[in-house]
Amino acid sequence: MKILVTAGGTNEPIDGVRRIANMSTGQTGTVLAGHFAAMGAEVLLLHAQDSLVPVAEAGAAGRIESRSFRSFADLAGKLEEILSTREFDAVVHLAAVSDYSVTRVLIDGRDFPPGGPGKIQDAEEVVVMLRKNPKLIDSIKNWSRGGNVTVVGFKLTDTPDRSVRRDQAMAQLRRGGTDLTVQNDVSDITPDAHPAMIYGNAGFIAGTETKHEMAEVLWHLLAEGVDK
């Protein structure tokens, strides 16, 4: 089985040293990539430049190929290029993709090129303008060579209402870009636990408590085949 895993967070440049980023470390994605590789899959891990990459689980076996990305535009370009030129059985899309990218920076009323070169200094007012990005996960099937790839999406929620969590996961599935959605909530994640609920088009499939348990369940679902 050939699996593409995305992991870590995009960051959007403001100047040469400042970025808009998120809290994603890429750790969950690297655990999944390591498990898939250990089970015999050929894995391409497309990870944020500063995220973790697995070595102990499968790197030594040579089953994990890794490439990195930085911004939304960088990730989008690499995803489209990779998916249109190589065939995968599954794409597990964990990357925390920025909803917005920087389009304009004003320094005391004067334009500054987003991302630099240079560093903003001694400014009284900095205005950063953002543009909404499209949902990358909705383009994966269209970009994929052959068009029969299984797509696993992730939905991070921030609500104590479990019915809202489920509804948000199912909403991602109803858009048609994913075959499985893994939902977890920021309030449940601790250094020792990473609870998740896995949904398919027909509804709830399984619950897991740790990253490694999630990896095992997802592997079995992908190996057995997912109803599309």
pLDDT digits (tens, 9 = 90+) for 145-181: 877 899 999 999 999 999 999 999 999 999 989 999 9
Q: Are the beta carbons of 182 and 154 closer than 8 angstroms? A: yes
At residue 52, the pLDDT reads 67
Q: What is the pLDDT of residue 22?
A: 87
SS (H, E, C) 42-81: EEEEEEECCCCCCCCCCHHHCCEEEEEECCHHHHHHHHHH
Helical packing angle, 211-224 and 27-38, nearest 10°: 50
Q: Residue 134 and residue 112: Cα distance in Å, rounded?
A: 25
Q: Report the sign of the C-alpha dihedral through residues 183, 142, 11, 218, in that order.
A: positive
Domain boundaries, the chain: 2-98+137-224
Q: Is the peptide bond before 117 cis (omega within 30 degrees of 0)?
A: yes
Weakly modelled stretches of the chain, pLDDT under 50? 58, 60
Q: How far is CA 207 from CA 29, 60, 112, 157, in A?
A: 18, 31, 48, 15
Task: Please tell me the predicted confidence (pLDDT) of residue 164.
Answer: 96
CATH 3.40.50.2000 assigned to 2-98+137-224: no
pLDDT at position 60 is 46
Kindly report the pTM of this predicted structure: 0.90
Q: What is the pLDDT of residue 55?
A: 53
> Looking at residue 58, what is its pLDDT?
46
Instruction: Report the DSSP beta bridge partners of residue 204.
Output: 199
**Alpha-carbon dihedral angle through residues 111, 115, 116, 122, given to the nearest 10 degrees:** 70
